[in-house]
Structure 1
């Protein structure tokens, strides 16, 4: 049974609503009875929430099942459009994709997780729409590590305390000491690597995006390990990322 509240500190009806939204996403649609069983709440409660969300465009009903509606897309587009890093970085991402032929991502951070806010697929048979908007653990993501390296130590510790250092592959950093050692190295060299730490066979390099001394996000390039070797990452690709970073940070300064 999925628990409506993770902390017990929120308003119960709101916690139930958010649990309902998350469950609808996980199940890719469901009926009232299934949702009530999953959440351990009354069917009348579930039906009431669904009715309100349907009236406001946040769910749609198809047959006997409810699905998330496009109302969420409207708000998501608004939130992303408010990010200066998004408006300042799109053109640079497009240019990097053309120059490298690899997948390029603009990444920000919120509540201790990295999030992909804009990207281009390059010469990869990957639907970037399945990744766009996804949250990722920061300790095994090149952009996430580039961001972490420029956060205060107390904040990094808080993120690790809250989210842990779960292993995604055999190459994932799972030790706090090892993470802090790597973050120090990232600060010195100016880039972060992900050598099959998140997904086997995928390499990535990320660089921080800062403005007025504050970390805003990261820019990263990813691709298959046989094509995006560590040597290529630390050579020509890093040079291209640095040039793009200068362009983005200049755009940030004049927005």
Structure 2
């Protein structure tokens, strides 16, 4: 993760426009120009270029993201060995538990879900494949933070902060470092309604052949089902077993 330095203004504006269209679903020239405080002519030029190159689609005066992003995203995902080796295992985990399973990796100090297969009882959440989260808010992200150096963790905190998602989110730096020490020692992470109220999650690290943590596997579900031995013993065992299988595939596959 690097700070934004020496960026090219026109390119950065293009990405800001893409982000606005993504967040709003669709947006027109005037709306985007107002948000960015840019001339309509400048915004229109960027939008037209993106449309001509098939990254945006124009419809009734508004612009939407084009399916070319889907092509790029799927190519990127399939190049990740952790995805290729782990996809079937987390799908099996979701099917066997009925809950929401996931593989998460870190990029630029944020967590990115590579896949989120749903079991038959899985809750509907705000997240999806490719969704980015703050690592400190969930059991899917904590093992990644826990195996970074203190300096690396601090850089992520300095850049992204420790935003509060619920009243249970850890937002104090000292408390987080203490908590991450426990995660590292136990080899398992718990999220007790720290990202979403009513949701619990269990996560375990996935290591490569050099013993580096390259991602996590996790299970998430409502507090009504993830409690007692299920939350503290059964599901932790299952995610650790899944992580072990994925690690073997990454190392020897």
Mark yes or no: TM-score above 0.5: yes
Residue in 2 that maps onto 1:18: 15
Q: Secondary structure in 1 aligned to 2:112? A: strand
Residue in 1 that maps onto 2:224: 226
Instruction: State whether residues 95 and 120 of structure 2, in contact with CA within 8 Å, keep that contact through their aligned partners in structure 1.
Output: no
Residue in 2 that maps onto 1:246: 244
Gaps of 5+ in 2: none
Cα-Cα RMSD: 1.6
Query: 1: distance between equivalents of 2:126 and 2:142?
Result: 23
Residue in 2 that maps onto 1:216: 214
Q: Secondary structure in 2 aligned to 1:61? A: strand
The TM-score normalised by the length of structure 2 is 0.94
Query: 2: distance between equivalents of 1:94 and 1:121?
Result: 8
Residue in 2 that maps onto 1:54: 51
Query: 2: distance between equivalents of 1:171 and 1:58?
Result: 39
How many Å apart are 1:250 and its aligned residue? Answer: 0.7
Query: 2: distance between equivalents of 1:90 and 1:26?
Result: 27
Residue 204 of structure 2 is aligned to residue 207 of structure 1: yes
Instruction: State whether residues 104 and 219 of structure 1, in contact with CA within 8 Å, keep that contact through their aligned partners in structure 2.
Output: yes
Which of these residues, 166, 169, 176, is aligned with residue 166 of structure 2?
Answer: 169
Superposed CA deviations along residues 208-238 of structure 1, whole A, max 9, x for unmatched, are: 0011121110000000001011531221111
Instruction: State whether residues 24 and 68 of structure 1, in contact with CA within 8 Å, keep that contact through their aligned partners in structure 2.
Output: yes
Query: 2: distance between equivalents of 1:240 and 1:7?
Result: 40
Superposed CA deviations along residues 86-106 of structure 1, whole A, max 9, x for unmatched, are: 101001101111221111011
Pair 1:129–1:46, CA change in 2 (3 A): same
Instruction: State whether residues 202 and 220 of structure 2, in contact with CA within 8 Å, keep that contact through their aligned partners in structure 1.
Output: yes
The TM-score normalised by the length of structure 1 is 0.93
Residue in 2 that maps onto 1:45: 42
Q: Secondary structure in 2 aligned to 1:219? A: strand
Which of these residues, 123, 131, 136, is aligned with residue 133 of structure 2?
Answer: 136
Pair 1:84–1:124, CA change in 2 (3 A): same
The count of aligned residue pairs is 250
Instruction: State whether residues 56 and 71 of structure 1, in contact with CA within 8 Å, keep that contact through their aligned partners in structure 2.
Output: no
How many Å apart are 1:36 and its aligned residue? Answer: 1.4
How many Å apart are 1:27 and its aligned residue? Answer: 2.0
Which of these residues, 138, 141, 147, is aligned with residue 150 of structure 1?
Answer: 147
Which of these residues, 173, 179, 186, is aligned with residue 176 of structure 2?
Answer: 179
How many Å apart are 1:150 and its aligned residue? Answer: 0.8
Which of these residues, 66, 70, 95, is aligned with residue 69 of structure 1?
Answer: 66
Query: 1: distance between equivalents of 2:242 and 2:170?
Result: 28
Q: Secondary structure in 2 aligned to 1:143? A: coil
After superposing the two structures, state which structure 1 stretch, 154-163 or 231-240, moved more. 231-240
Pair 1:39–1:230, CA change in 2 (3 A): farther
